[in-house]
Structures are given as C-alpha cells and as structure tokens.
Amino acid sequence: MLKIAICDDDINDLAHISNLIGKYQSEKNFQIRCDAFSNIVELLDSMHKHTYDILFLDILMPGLTGVQAAHEVRRFDNEVKIIFLSSSPEFAVESYTVGAYYYFIKPAAEEKLFPIIDKLVYNYEISDGALYIKLSSGIMRIPFNKLEFLEVMYKRLFFHLTDGSVKEIHGSLSDFETQLVSREEFIKVHRSYIVNMKYIQELSSKELIVYTKKRIPISRLLYDKIRQAYMDYLFQD
C-alpha cells in the first residue's frame, strides 16, 4: 500500500490534490492510503507516528514555510519523496536543498501529476520485491504488488494478477507460502488460497471479493483471524 500525505492550508487546493489521487487510485487499480492536513503542526505530528512514501507539501503556509517544514521532516525521515506545491516558481531552487522530488506549479494538472505518480509507483514496486516462477517459455518475474491472489487446484498453481491475467505452473501452495505470508500484505484465507490484502474489496464470513471481482472462499474457522489481520493491515502505522 502506497502511503501519501498532503499538507496545504488552502482547503480547495487540498481537496483538488486529494481528488486527483483518488482518481489515480481508481483508474490504476492501485491501493493508496492518503492523509490530508491543513497545517504543518498536524502533519509533523502524524509523520512522527506514521511513515509515508510521498509527501505533497504546499510552499506558502502560515508559520513554517513548506521548505522549512521539509527541513524538519528530513531530520527524522530521509526516505519520503517530497513534492512541493506552489503558485510561483520563486522557491524552486531552494526546494531542492531538502532533496525535493518535484516542484509543481498550482493547480496540479492530471496530465502532469499522474506520470509523476506512475514513476513513483514503479519505483515502489521494484523496491517492494517480487517472486519468480518457471514457465515453459522461461523465468517470469511477478512483483508482489501485481499478485492479487494465489490459488492451488489439483497440484496446479494459478497466479492471479491485477491485470486479470493468470499464470499457471505445476506445484503446491507450500512452494510459495512461506515467501508470501512472511510479508505483511499476504494472508492465507483457505487451504487453497493466499490473498494480497491490498486488493480485498469486500470481506464477509464466507468469502472475499478482490478488485478483479473474483470471489474467494474463506475458511469459517479462520474468519475472525482474517478479519483482524485485514483491519490491522488497513490501519497500520
């Protein structure tokens, strides 16, 4: 799950960026947690408690400027990608003293913002790792973030990907179980299924539905454990 924070004292600009990120998430079928803040104090307080992958930061705000706030952020977080938002290019050069990833002139347009997020998502996926499977045509790399769920049936493994495609190989669930469930986003919900919680859309006591609308049965004995794990994943720090 990509975690994004936005800080802007202008409520309209804050809503604009939040809506664009929501649209990106919907169109790209990529799970994002987005937290919005209207002042620096709230932002810094949250960043001391939670980690974020991307920070959209307004330059001109009451109290600390965006650049000054970024210096504070860099005192405890050197990894978050900072994207500045400003109505003027005046602070562009100064912004890169804190390792800014990008400097946007308001209003941020979809055609400019989405390619930037695409690049960050790609880098996020690469750093997030992958598993490798042997197909008849050769070795295939499957980023963890592209694997929606893994299914076993009659000693055949089916890798269901987020684009709707399915890769099939001979094997058992145990071949990949340890590798997958050791990661926070994967959980075994049934003796025949391991699911990526990033893509759970609906969860009930009998089944869950993933983003590609496929229905996956849930072990009734495991439901309480699965529900708690999913809630913990959604609201993790």
Say if 2-127 and 130-234 have the same CATH topology: no
Secondary structure letter of residue 53 according to DSSP: S
Task: Write down the pLDDT at residue 166.
Answer: 95
- The 3-class secondary structure across 126-187, one letter per residue, is HHCCEEEEEECCEEEEEEHHHEEEEEEECCEEEEEECCCCEEEEECCCHHHHHHHHCCCCEE
Which of these CATH numbers, 3.40.50.150, 3.40.50.2300, 3.40.50.10470, 3.30.300.20, describes 2-127?
3.40.50.2300
CA distance 6 to 17: 8
Domain boundaries, the chain: 2-127, 130-234
Fold of 130-234: OB fold (Dihydrolipoamide Acetyltransferase, E2P) (2.40.50)
Task: Write down the pLDDT at residue 127.
Answer: 59
Task: Write down the pLDDT at residue 236.
Answer: 66
Task: Write down the pLDDT at residue 55.
Answer: 96
Give tens-digit pLDDT for 52-88.
Answer: 989 999 998 888 889 999 999 988 888 899 999 998 8
